Amino acid sequence: MSDDPPSSDPTPETLQKEIAKLRRRVARLETQLEDVETVRDTNLRFLDRVSGELEAEKARSRALLLNVLPETIVERLDAGEGLIADRYDDVAVVFSDFVGFTQISGRLEVGELVRSLNALFTAFDAACSDLAVEKIKTIGDAYMAAAGLPGTGSDHIAAAADLALAMRVAVREAGDPWHVRIGLHSGPVVAGVIGTSKFVYDLWGDAVNVASRLETTAPTDQIQVSETVAEALGDAFELEPRGAIELKGKGSTETFLLVGRRKD
């Protein structure tokens, strides 16, 4: 009888069984890994799509805000500033109004009226953009813009005068029944954002009031400016003295009619 211990080496059959088990386990792990990678890829594609949609929505929201507020104000709101309120010592305000608009609106077909008004305001908007003047608002058929605010160009009074001239050209090109009166004054204003649901960026102060009254008293198809503006424009523009007229709240006021830019 042999004294050697019994052999513990696995038999070929046992090895084959263990190998088969290992292969099945590896196959299961590989399948699970593929499932995880599939889920990961699906989640990444989903996150990419959601991220793209969020960026597109942010861009649309910003574009809508820029249709209502100046870009500098949008940036301040994005930065978390709650109350937007500023005081400026010298802002040039352009105020325009169409002559006889009530009668025009009663004569023209509704669609034609809106198309014509939209075309004119679109031309005004384009002139504001070209001259770096900020459109403030429209009130019915009235249009208000300002130069000298943050984000607008230098030589703000000349830019406002150029805007007024461009607006008059647009109205002349539109032809009958469209005629316009325009007022231009420069002075101190307070600016801020008001409202919550339909908020607006607006201006208040002497420059706004006087520009409005200069528009109201201007002759048809003329641009009436204050003495302050006339002096600031100097020799670069052609101006005709109109003399003193009565402005509500201001009394007798020297005014001028802006004819155009002088040719070099």
Q: Which residue is catalytic, options 213, 242, 250, 262?
A: 213
Separation of alpha carbons 229 and 158, rounded Å: 9
Q: What is the pLDDT of residues 210-233, one digit of tens each?
A: 999 999 999 999 999 999 999 999
Between these two residues, 156 and 200, which has the higher pLDDT value?
156
Q: What is the pLDDT of residues 91-101, one digit of tens each?
A: 999 999 999 99
pLDDT at 48: 83
H or E stretch covering 37: helix 12-66
DSSP secondary structure of 152-212:
SPSSHHHHHHHHHHHHHHHHHHH-TT--EEEEEEEEEEEEEEE-SSS-EEEEESHHHHHHH
User: Which of 1-5, 24-28, 139-143 is predicted least confidently?
Assistant: 1-5
Alpha helices in 67-92 (DSSP H): 71-78
Q: What is the pLDDT of residues 107-129, one digit of tens each?
A: 999 999 999 999 999 999 999 99
Name the pLDDT band for 171 (thresholds 50, 70, 90): very high
pLDDT at 216: 96
Q: Write the CA distances from 208 to 27, 175, 222, integer angstroms.
A: 79, 28, 18
User: Which of 39-53, 173-187, 239-253 is predicted least confidently?
Assistant: 39-53
Separation of alpha carbons 247 and 204, rounded Å: 17
Lookup: tokens for 184: 């231009």
Smallest CA-to-CA distance from 94 within 196, 201, 1, 168 is with: 168
The CATH class of the 83-261 domain is alpha beta
pLDDT at 249: 83
Task: Tell me the average pLDDT across 16-43.
Answer: 84
The one-character DSSP state at 235 is G
In residues, how long is the chain? 264
Lookup: tokens for 233: 């424009």
Between these two residues, 36 and 182, which has the higher pLDDT value?
182
Q: In a 3-state reduction of DSSP, which class is residue 78?
A: helix
Give Cα 153 to chain centroid, integer Å.
16
Q: What is the pLDDT of residues 54-113, one digit of tens each?
A: 888 877 777 777 777 778 888 887 887 778 888 999 999 999 999 999 999 999 999 999
pLDDT at 7: 53
Active site (annotated) includes residue 248 = yes
The position carrying tokens 């996150």 is: 47
Q: Which residue is catalytic, options 23, 248, 250, 262?
A: 248
The position carrying tokens 């386990």 is: 25
H or E stretch covering 142: strand 142-147
